[in-house]
Amino acid sequence: MSTKSPKVREPLPAVYYYFFWLCEPALTLAGAEYAIRRPQDYGSDMLPVGMERSTAGIGRTIRGQMIIGGLGSCFFLLALISLSLFPTIKRSLPDRPDIQGRLAKALLIPLAIADISHIVMTLLPMPISFLQSPGKWTTLINGNVWITVFLFLIRSAYLLGIGRPHRPFSPNAGPALAELEKKGQ
Residue-wise pLDDT tens digits, 129-139: 999 999 999 99
- Which helix H or strand E contains 105, and what residues bound it? helix 97-123
pLDDT, residue 99, reads 94
For residues 56 and 47, the answer to whether their CB atoms sit within 8 Å is yes
For residues 31 and 75, the answer to whether their CB atoms sit within 8 Å is yes
CA–CA distance, 152 with 112 (Å, rounded to integer): 6
Question: Would 156 be classed as within a structural domain?
Answer: yes
Question: Would 48 be classed as within a structural domain?
Answer: yes
pLDDT, residue 16, reads 97
- Total domains in the chain come to 1
Question: Would 1 be classed as within a structural domain?
Answer: no
135 C-beta neighbours (distance < 10 Å), count: 5
Question: Would 181 be classed as within a structural domain?
Answer: no
- Residue 37: pLDDT over 90: yes
- Residue 96: pLDDT over 60: yes
> Could you tell me the residue range of the domain that residue 91 belongs to?
9-167
146 falls in which pLDDT band (50, 70, 90)? very high
Tell me the pTM. Answer: 0.85
Residue 127 DSSP symbol: -
Q: What is the rounded average pLDDT of the residues 153-173?
A: 84
Residue-wise pLDDT tens digits, 43-64: 999 999 989 999 999 999 999 9
Q: Which residues pair with 8 in a beta bridge?
A: 167
Please report the sign of the dihedral spanned by the C-alpha atoms of residue 128, residue 132, residue 135, residue 139.
positive
- Which helix H or strand E contains 136, and what residues bound it? none
Could you write out the DSSP letters of every residue in 20-84?
IIIIHHHHHHHHHHHHHH-HHHHHHHTS-TTSSGGGTTGGGSHHHHHHHHHHHHHHHHHHHHHHH
